[in-house]
Every structure is written in structure tokens, then in C-alpha cells.
Structure 1
Amino acid sequence: MLVEEIMKKEVITLPPTATIADALQLLQENPIRHIPIVDNENQVIGIISDRDVRDATPSIFDEHTNHQAFRNEVHSIMSRPVTTVHPLDLVEEIARVFYDEEFACLPVVRTNQLIGIITEKDMLHTLIQLTGTNVQSSQVEVKVPHRPGILPEVASIFGEQRTNITSVLMYPYNDDPNYKILVFRIQTMNPLPVIQGLRNAGYELMWPNNIAEPKI
């Protein structure tokens, strides 16, 4: 999945000469937490967050408040330089940038022009879609040897049971490099036939692992 598939294309921006009052108004009127600061050529030169604006805004409860702060320009509080991403970057790789750098949003640029923005909420929504948890389904986790061809072998058992797979994930099994865990989301509320088929094929189920095998 590409960044351009999940980014928001309508981006609210400000010029560096806008005031903190302008930024505060935009944050209050729109469901956003970050505002890219752009120059006359729509190039990103900075970014401000709701926290930046809040920290720069005098308290309304202080009778000695200096309202001059509202007239300060946003370039005085913006963060720079700004990390950006390209619309053809892979979402899975951008997720690592969010995690490593602890970013809450990333502007999307093409040929140095701002064309969109992607937020941590967008990333979380995408993760939900990729894992298939947004549709009614059942989850089955299988311990498998880490070798070529294992995925189609296991998936064929779901085909034998005429069960549709909505998503597949893989993660390590403890610290053992010889095994992996395959996580299947399947479109059925009765996974028992699939579970029995996996057990008959000799696979160890990690989930559900509390369903007893039928007695013969």
C-alpha cells in the first residue's frame, strides 16, 4: 500500500507570517492537530502542532496576560527542518518512521510541493484494514517451520474447507528462528472445520488453543 492511497489531500496550511492567533483559530475550527507552514511556492518550511500553539498562547485566566503573544508570527514557534515523505513511499516503511522518530504526522511532498499529509491516526486506520479486524471474522494462529513454501501449504487447508482468508500476518515465534507464527483472519464465525484440518495436517495451533479435539 502506498502513501498516496491513505494521505489526506486537503491540507490546511499557513504562511510563516501568519500570527499565532491565526493558527489558534484554525485549530479550533478544524479537526486537526498540525499545520504545515509553507512559502509562496507551497514548499514546506516548517510545521506547528497544537501543543506549540498552546505553549505560545498566554493563559486567559492570568489577569496580567500580555496579548502581544497572539500577534507573534508562527515562524517563531515552528519546528524545522521538516521530515517529509513521498506519495509513492510504502505505508509499511513509513510506519517505521513514525515509530522510530515518534512523529504524529508527516507532510507528503512531490517535487518539493506539498500535496498531502499523513497522520498517526491514518496509520492506525490502515493497520486495522491490513489486519482485517474491520470486518466480521475469526482469527487463527498457526506455528509453522520457517521455510520456503510453507504459506501456500497452510493456506491450501483453508481452501479445502472453502473458507475465505481476509488477511495474513507473520511474526516471530519467541526467539526461535526456525519457526514463525502465521495469523489468519477468515470469513467464518465457525472456525472448527479449519482448526481440525490444520491439526490433521500436523500443525500446532497457538490460537485458538483451548478447543479440544473431538473424541473418536
Structure 2
Amino acid sequence: MLVEEIMKKDVITLSPSATIANALKLLRENHIRHIPIVNQDNQVVGIVSDRDVRDATASIFNTADNQQYLQQELQSIMSYPVVTAHPLDFVEEVARVFYNEGFGCLPVVSGNTLIGIITEKEMLYTMILLTGTNIQSSQIEVKVPHKPGILPEVAAVFGKRKTNITSVLMYPFNDDPNYKILVFRIQTMNPVPLIQDLRDAGYELMWPNNIAEPKL
């Protein structure tokens, strides 16, 4: 999935010479947390967050000082240079940037021009879509050898029962490079027959766990 598929294209911006009061008004009226700061060519030169505005605002108990702070230009408090995304970046790669840098948003730029923005909310919802948890389904986790061709091999078990797979993820098994965990989300509310098929095929299930039947 590409950034251009999830970004917001209607971006609220301000110029560097706009005031903190202008930013505060837009943040409150539009219920947003970040405002890209652009020049006359719509190029991103900075970014201002609701935290920047709060930090720059004087105590509410000192009205005179507060008004003075609110009239300062945004270029005095904006963060720069700004890390941006490209519309053809993969969402998974941008998610890593969000995590590593702790960003709340990323402006999207093409040809040095601002064309969109991605926030934490869009990123989180996209991860939900990619994992298939937005669709009613069952989850099965299978421990497999880390070798070429293992994914279609396991998927064939689902194919025999004509079960629709909504998503597949893979993650490491502890610190053992010889194994991986395949996570399948399947569109069935009764995965028991598939679970048995996987066990019969010799696969170890991490979820649902292999629990020995109690002895009578």
C-alpha cells in the first residue's frame, strides 16, 4: 500500500509570518494537532504542533504576556528542517519512520510541493487494514521452518477447504533464525477443521495452542 492511498489531500497550512494566535485558532477549530508551514510556492519550510503552541504560550493568568506571545510569528517556534514522505513510499516503510522518530505526522511532498499529510491516526488505521483485523475472522499462528516455498505450502492447507485468507503476516520465532511464525486471518468462525488439518500435516500451532486432551 502506498502513501498516496491513505494521505489526507486537504491540508491546512500557514505561512511562517502567521502568528501563534492564527495557529491556535486553526488547531482548535479543525481539531488537528499539526500544521505544516509553507512558503509562497507551497514548499514545506517548517511544522508547528499543538505542543509547540502550548509551550510558546505564557501563563493564562498573565493576560498581557499571553497576548504578546500570541502575536509572535510561527517561524519563531516552528520545527525545521521537516522530515517528509513521498506519495509513492510504501506505508510499511513510513510506519518505521513514525516509530523510530516518534513523529505525530508526516507532510507528503512531491516535486518539493506539499500535496498531503499522514497522521498517526491514518497510520494506525492502515495497519488495521493490512492485518485484516477490520474484518470478522479467525486467527491461526503456525510455526514453520524458515525456508523458500513454506508460505504456499501452508496456504495450500487452507485452499483444500476453500477458505478465504484475508491477511498473512510473518514474524521471527524468538531468536531462532531457523523458524518463523506465519499468522493467518481467515474468513471462518469455525477454524477447528483447519486447525486439525494443519496438525495432521505436521505443523506446530502457536495459536490456538496445542493443548493435550485431559485423560479420563
- TM-score norm. by structure 1 comes to 0.95
Partner of 1:180: 180
CA gap of 1:198–1:84, structure 2 versus 1, over 3 A, is same
Q: CA deviation at 1:67?
A: 1.4
Amino acid at match of 1:112: N
Q: CA deviation at 1:58?
A: 2.2
CA gap of 1:54–1:66, structure 2 versus 1, over 3 A, is closer
| Secondary structure, counterpart of 1:118 in structure 2 | strand
1:32-78 C-alpha deviation (Å, 9 max, x unpaired): 10000000000000000000001111232336644111111111000
Partner of 1:60: 60
Please list, as runs of the form range in 1=range in 2, the aligned pairs for 1:94-133 lying within 5 A after superposition: 94-133=94-133
Partner of 1:139: 139
Partner of 2:148: 148
Task: Give percent identity, aligned residues only.
Answer: 76
Structure 1 residue 170 corresponds to structure 2 residue 159: no
Q: CA deviation at 1:99?
A: 1.1
Q: Partners in 2 of 1:6 and 1:28 — Cα distance? A: 24
Partner of 2:71: 71
Q: CA deviation at 1:166?
A: 0.2
Q: Partners in 1 of 2:171 and 2:63 — Cα distance? A: 57
Q: CA deviation at 1:212?
A: 5.5
- TM-score norm. by structure 2 comes to 0.95
| Secondary structure, counterpart of 2:142 in structure 1 | strand
Native 8 Å contact 2:60 2:66 kept in 1: no
Q: CA deviation at 1:211?
A: 5.7
1:83-104 C-alpha deviation (Å, 9 max, x unpaired): 1111001111111111111111
Partner of 1:34: 34
Structure 1 residue 157 corresponds to structure 2 residue 157: yes
Q: Partners in 2 of 1:127 and 1:212 — Cα distance? A: 35
Structure 1 residue 206 corresponds to structure 2 residue 206: yes
CA gap of 1:65–1:208, structure 2 versus 1, over 3 A, is same
Q: Which runs of 5+ in 1 are unaligned?
A: none
CA gap of 1:66–1:117, structure 2 versus 1, over 3 A, is closer
Single out whichever of 174-183 and 64-73 deviates more from structure 2.
64-73
Partner of 1:11: 11
| Secondary structure, counterpart of 1:157 in structure 2 | helix
Amino acid at match of 1:161: R
Amino acid at match of 2:89: D
Partner of 2:44: 44
Q: Partners in 2 of 1:144 and 1:107 — Cα distance? A: 40
Amino acid at match of 1:174: N
CA gap of 1:66–1:205, structure 2 versus 1, over 3 A, is closer
Partner of 1:2: 2
1:3-60 C-alpha deviation (Å, 9 max, x unpaired): 0000000000000110100000000100210000000000000000000001111232
Q: Partners in 2 of 1:63 and 1:72 — Cα distance? A: 15
